[in-house]
Chains A and B, each alone.
Chain A
Amino acid sequence: MYTVLVCDDEKDIVSALKIYLTSDGYDVLCAYNGEEALELMETHTVHLVLMDIMMPKTDGLTALSLLREKYNTPVIFTTAKSEDTDIVLGLNLGADDYITKPFNPVELLARVRSQLRRYTTLGAAAKPEDNVFACGGITVNDNDKTVTVDGDPVGLTPTEYEILKFLIRSPGKVYSPAEIYRAVWRDDPYGSDSTVAVHIRHLREKIEIDPNNPRYIRVVWGHGYQFATQKGGKPS
């Protein structure tokens, strides 16, 4: 049983989130500004924080930097500020994820689950085995050809599996569709077709929480695809 601290100055949103989280089996603590959140952190064991940025008294960013002095609890920002600069600032200050309002409750729950799993079970990086590639919450085990996202097994087609394996072997490197085609299909691509793109889209739909704002397999437009290493901001 994990405890989630929800902090937002909008009481309705806090209540809604409480309903969702409680129904998903979490204990929920409510705070309506940064100060209250910090006080609750002192008195309770909190496993995850959902925090708004624009709040009275202590705002989210200040509260986060104060919080990070003592705790390494995962923090997800839920905010109306959707500018790229805001997202980058939030992540740089130590937030683990960033969800812009208005959010989809299902997506929010998925992200909460992902972060909690990473924080609790997968907190320490698993000892690398041979033929096992792990990056972020994704693990590709080439021995039994299984893929897990945040610990949950995902069923991939052989082609998707090959593409993911190819990309995760060198995270951060951008591969052009032609290179991916050659590596996976072991053949020269014919002209400019979108076979690779279609497969990657499918792959994203399976392993990403929001396929339109991928965390792992990112599109570099006009160049190719990469397996993102760092917690990147979502392209808006």
Chain B
Amino acid sequence: MKKLQSSRLVKTLCFLLCILFTAGIACNVVLGLLLTKSNLFYAEKEQLLEIAVEEIVEHYHQNDVRRYVMNVLSEEDQLNRDTELYQMKFSRERSNLSFTVTDEDGAVVLNNYPAVDMGYTFTKTLSIYDYDFDMTRLNEAVSQPEETTVPPETTETELSEELATEMTEPTAAVEQITSTEDTTTSPQEPTEPVSYDEPAYPTSGRTEHIYILDDNGSGYRFRYYYYENEYNEAILQYCTQLFETTAEDIPYAEYTDGWVTFREDDYAVSDNGVVYYRGEREPTTCILGAEQDYPHRDYTVLYTLPKTFTAKDLFYYAQKLTGYAFGYIHKIIPLTICFAVAALVFFILSLLCLGHVKGENAPQARGLHRIPYDIVCAVVLVAVIALAFFVIDDGPYSGPLPIAAALTALALILLSFLATTVVRIKAKTIGSNIFVVRFCRWLSKLIRNAAENKNLLLVLGITFGVVTLAEFIYSMLLYQEDEFIALLFIVKVIEIPLVLLGAINLHKVQNGAKRLAEGNLTEKVDTKYLIGPFKKNAEYLNAVNDGVNRAVHERMKSESMKTELITNVSHDLKTPLTSIINYVDLLKETDVQDEKAKEYIGVIDRQSQRLKKLCSDIVDASKAATGNLSVSLEPTALNVMLPQVIGEYDERLRTKQLQLVPAIPAETVTVNADGKLLWRVFDNLLNNVCKYAMAGTRVYLTLEQAAGTARITFRNISGSPLNISPEELTERFVRGDASRATEGSGLGLSIAKSLTELMGGRFDLAIDGDLFKVTVTFPILQA
């Protein structure tokens, strides 16, 4: 069951069948309505055939018969050849239709073949029109339209009478102009058009039948419906349709918006509805009016059809088709009921299947069902209204088939709407998936996001406001139409969230870039809510972040490996060194008589001690340089610490005959530092002083506060010339050349510098002649 429900094939099949049956119902309904309207719903088979036959004669044979008659009447040779063709067409072998044309006097003009078996018989009047009208008269009408178009109704009858008299002259080619006045308002009009089968049109407008006579004298009939004030436009539109004109066809016309507008002097509309039009097909006259009022001669045609059709012409097939149609018409009601039941069953089946998706337990709203519900509702409403109007409104494109199609479409839309509603209810998304709600939520989130950064909002607001104001002023000065201003307003309302969104996006990306620039590699740009190029940009930034992270990680790895290597090597060095130191010590204890040997032992002793110092310094230097050291920063009072340091070195300085001059303020100067590491820094510096300062000189140690920093300065006079730059001095293993021979590893300053920087301080070295000056600066910790 579940499997069937989630099968795509079953779902599609059910819905398609449902639609198919609905289309059937629509067709049946339209057909039934048509039949009811024509009172044919319960018609007999013969009645149907009769109608079919008359329709065929009227649509397919009447014109041929007319031409045949005209050819026969005419005496021109060229036409005689056509006559032969018509004779062939209407021969007994080819046509079941036999006809006899008699003129007004009862004389037989034409008979194709004598009728054999009188099955169906009916007579029709055939009017042969005189189309050789007077060109001069037309031109007069065109050139003096105001004279011909006399507005008052009273003169109209006079005009008609005048024209009527002219009509009596048989040789004169005269346009018969028929009044096109509303049939309801002027029923006394003598030239009232005959009524046709078409249903009555709304009384507010009027309907007209417009005839055009072509060169053959046969009339095309057009039906046109228009409202009173659109009278002229209606005629113009008619002409456009009639001649299938485009702007190119009619050089006199202007073509705008699909309408052809004739220039005034190219056409004239007489008061009684004649359109004189001079186009390229000149001369052509459109006549609005009834055909029988045009100058013509009437002939009577007696059409006869046999009971059984021998020739396989249209009538033969019409008879067959009528048989089928009759069969169908009688079953139309039960069939419609069957269709309805089937459509209902399949619809229910498809409703059962809807929403079930493979691999999901609960019904899901997927695909088109994810379109917000209010949008769906709006679209459906518009479509339903449009289609309903199409069905009700009997417009120019109306007809049984389009209406059936429209009904089917209507049913399809309504069924789909019902289906999507059911799916949404099943998946419980009907309440949440509403565009208005989602939009409002999105907007409020946007505003909240923007509110987080007030500066951005302020700048944005001011800029946007100024630009908007300028635009409004500008457009008010230039275009004064209210519509344009309103449009601008709507555009602005749409613009605000877009601009806001863009700004927030930009801000996020910028923040990400800023973090990257500051070296904060841990936080990436969140690309979830970014759009378009901002998203791409953020992704690129993240890629850069990844790259830098990788590089830093690798660098760190290699640095820590280096430190590890140095530590291990120094460990391995320490063990043999211990033996050396110990045995040298033991050797000193032994009773060595040789003075030279004693001296050598002394050298080994000194050098092994140096090696020992070097071993521990090298590890420290490498650790300090790579920051591979645990630093616990805590408030440390420098004014307490420096005397402590001095105390530690008091003895040694005195031994070296160095006079220390401290300048340490009494007030508390606290910095954030690791006491042990800071001791190492001062230890190394004072050690340096003891080693390299010239004996008997003064050493200055100063603590100062300046611009939020504490500055500790060590100044001493170097014992040997300093022919080296301060930068080089802090390099590892570098010492002044002259001090090479003395004790020390050459790492002291390097370690001090590294440690200071590790604690967030600054280590500066300056050499001025023999003055050696070290400045250690730390930011003061505010209490």
Interface residues of A, Cβ cutoff 8 Å to B: 10, 12-13, 16-17, 19-20, 23, 54, 80-84, 100-105, 176-177, 191-202, 205, 219-224, 235-236
A197 with B650: CB separation less than 8 A: yes
B648 with A102: CB separation less than 8 A: no
Contacts of B612 in A (CB 8 A): 102
Q: Does B227 sit within 8 A of A, measured CB to CB?
A: no
B643 with A196: CB separation less than 8 A: yes
Q: How far is the CA of A103 from the CA of B575 in the complex (A)?
A: 10
Pick the residue among B577, B665, B675 that contacts A223 (CB under 8 A): B675
Q: A105-B585, A197-B644 are in contact. Are A221 and B678 (CB under 8 A)?
A: yes
Q: A17-B582, A103-B578, A197-B648 are in contact. Are A222 and B643 (CB under 8 A)?
A: no
B578 with A222: CB separation less than 8 A: no
A222 with B651: CB separation less than 8 A: no
Q: Does B253 sit within 8 A of A, measured CB to CB?
A: no
Shortest beta-carbon distance from A14 to chain B in Å: 10
Pick the residue among B583, B589, B642 that contacts A12 (CB under 8 A): B583
Contacts of A202 in B (CB 8 A): 651
B675 with A220: CB separation less than 8 A: yes
Contacts of B578 in A (CB 8 A): 10, 13, 80, 101-103
Q: How far is the CA of A222 from the CA of B643 in the complex (A)?
A: 9
Q: A221-B636, A235-B676 are in contact. Are A80 and B647 (CB under 8 A)?
A: no
Q: How far is the CA of A235 from the CA of B576 in the complex (A)?
A: 24
Interface residues of B in 492-534 (CB under 8 A from A): none
A221 with B643: CB separation less than 8 A: no
Q: Does B638 sit within 8 A of A, measured CB to CB?
A: yes
A224 with B640: CB separation less than 8 A: yes
Q: How far is the CA of A193 from the CA of B662 in the complex (A)?
A: 8
Q: Can you list 22 A-B pairs with a CB-CB distance of less than 8 A? A: A12-B582, A13-B575, A13-B579, A23-B589, A54-B571, A80-B572, A80-B574, A82-B616, A82-B619, A84-B630, A101-B575, A102-B580, A177-B644, A193-B643, A194-B643, A197-B645, A198-B646, A199-B647, A201-B647, A205-B651, A221-B636, A221-B641
B650 with A12: CB separation less than 8 A: no
B583 with A222: CB separation less than 8 A: no
Contacts of B582 in A (CB 8 A): 12-13, 16-17, 20, 105
Contacts of B576 in A (CB 8 A): 10
A81 with B640: CB separation less than 8 A: no
Q: How far is the CA of A20 from the CA of B589 in the complex (A)?
A: 10
A192 with B651: CB separation less than 8 A: no
Q: How far is the CA of A17 from the CA of B585 in the complex (A)?
A: 11
A177 with B643: CB separation less than 8 A: yes
Q: Does B138 sit within 8 A of A, measured CB to CB?
A: no
Q: How far is the CA of A19 from the CA of B586 in the complex (A)?
A: 8
A194 with B646: CB separation less than 8 A: yes
Shortest beta-carbon distance from A20 to chain B in Å: 8
Shortest beta-carbon distance from A201 to chain B in Å: 5
The 4 closest A-B pairs by CB, nearest first: A197-B647, A221-B675, A222-B636, A16-B582
Contacts of A82 in B (CB 8 A): 616, 619
Shortest beta-carbon distance from A231 to chain B in Å: 18
Contacts of A80 in B (CB 8 A): 571-572, 574-575, 578
B579 with A222: CB separation less than 8 A: no
Shortest beta-carbon distance from B661 to chain A in Å: 12
Q: How far is the CA of A20 from the CA of B580 in the complex (A)?
A: 14
Given A10-B578, A103-B578, A221-B676, 13 additional A-B pairs, CB 8 A: A10-B576, A16-B586, A19-B586, A176-B640, A193-B662, A194-B643, A196-B643, A197-B646, A197-B647, A198-B646, A219-B679, A235-B676, A236-B616
A221 with B644: CB separation less than 8 A: yes
A222 with B640: CB separation less than 8 A: yes
Q: Does B639 sit within 8 A of A, measured CB to CB?
A: yes
B648 with A201: CB separation less than 8 A: yes
Pick the residue among B571, B580, B638 that contacts A222 (CB under 8 A): B638
Q: A16-B583, A221-B644 are in contact. Are A102 and B574 (CB under 8 A)?
A: yes
Pick the residue among A102, A176, A205 that contacts B581 (CB under 8 A): A102
Q: Does B637 sit within 8 A of A, measured CB to CB?
A: yes
Q: How far is the CA of A81 from the CA of B583 in the complex (A)?
A: 21
Contacts of B641 in A (CB 8 A): 221-222
Contacts of B648 in A (CB 8 A): 197, 201, 219
Q: Does B673 sit within 8 A of A, measured CB to CB?
A: yes
Q: Does B664 sit within 8 A of A, measured CB to CB?
A: yes
Contact with A along B562-606 (1 / 0, CB 8 A): 000001000110111111111101100100000000000000000
Who on chain B is nearest to A190 by CB? B666
Contacts of A102 in B (CB 8 A): 574, 577-578, 580-581, 608, 612, 615
Q: A102-B612, A192-B664, A223-B675 are in contact. Are A81 and B571 (CB under 8 A)?
A: yes
B583 with A192: CB separation less than 8 A: no
Contacts of A198 in B (CB 8 A): 646-647, 650-651
Q: How far is the CA of A102 from the CA of B609 in the complex (A)?
A: 9
Q: How far is the CA of A12 from the CA of B584 in the complex (A)?
A: 12
Contacts of B574 in A (CB 8 A): 80, 100-102
Interface residues of B in 424-480 (CB under 8 A from A): none
Contact with A along B353-379 (1 / 0, CB 8 A): 000000000000000000000000000
Most chain B CB within 10 A, of A20, A222, A223, is at A222
Contacts of A104 in B (CB 8 A): 581
Q: How far is the CA of A20 from the CA of B581 in the complex (A)?
A: 13
Shortest beta-carbon distance from A183 to chain B in Å: 16
Q: How far is the CA of A202 from the CA of B577 in the complex (A)?
A: 31
Pick the residue among A191, A196, A205, A223 that contacts B664 (CB under 8 A): A191
Contacts of A219 in B (CB 8 A): 644, 648, 679
Q: How far is the CA of A96 from the CA of B581 in the complex (A)?
A: 24
Q: How far is the CA of A145 from the CA of B576 in the complex (A)?
A: 46
Shortest beta-carbon distance from A32 to chain B in Å: 13
Shortest beta-carbon distance from A98 to chain B in Å: 14
Interface residues of B in 645-663 (CB under 8 A from A): 645-648, 650-651, 662
Contacts of B585 in A (CB 8 A): 105
A196 with B583: CB separation less than 8 A: no
Shortest beta-carbon distance from A181 to chain B in Å: 11
Q: How far is the CA of A224 from the CA of B644 in the complex (A)?
A: 8
Who on chain A is nearest to B644 by CB? A197
Most chain B CB within 10 A, of A102, A194, A198, A235, is at A102
Contact with A along B738-756 (1 / 0, CB 8 A): 0000000000000000000
Most chain B CB within 10 A, of A10, A19, A192, is at A192
Q: How far is the CA of A30 from the CA of B664 in the complex (A)?
A: 55
Who on chain A is nearest to B582 by CB? A16
B575 with A223: CB separation less than 8 A: no
B636 with A223: CB separation less than 8 A: yes
Q: A82-B616, A197-B650, A223-B675 are in contact. Are A12 and B640 (CB under 8 A)?
A: no
Contacts of B638 in A (CB 8 A): 222
Who on chain A is nearest to B637 by CB? A222
A177 with B650: CB separation less than 8 A: no
B666 with A191: CB separation less than 8 A: yes
Contacts of A205 in B (CB 8 A): 651
Q: How far is the CA of A82 from the CA of B567 in the complex (A)?
A: 10
Shortest beta-carbon distance from A179 to chain B in Å: 11
Who on chain A is nearest to B673 by CB? A222
Who on chain B is nearest to A54 by CB? B571
Contacts of A23 in B (CB 8 A): 589
Contacts of B571 in A (CB 8 A): 54, 80-81
Contacts of B673 in A (CB 8 A): 222
Contacts of A196 in B (CB 8 A): 643, 647
Shortest beta-carbon distance from B662 to chain A in Å: 7
Contacts of B586 in A (CB 8 A): 16, 19-20, 105
Contacts of B619 in A (CB 8 A): 82
Contacts of B616 in A (CB 8 A): 82, 236
A177 with B579: CB separation less than 8 A: no
Contacts of A177 in B (CB 8 A): 640, 643-644
Q: How far is the CA of A191 from the CA of B663 in the complex (A)?
A: 10
Contacts of B664 in A (CB 8 A): 191-192
B579 with A200: CB separation less than 8 A: no
Who on chain A is nearest to B574 by CB? A80
B650 with A192: CB separation less than 8 A: no
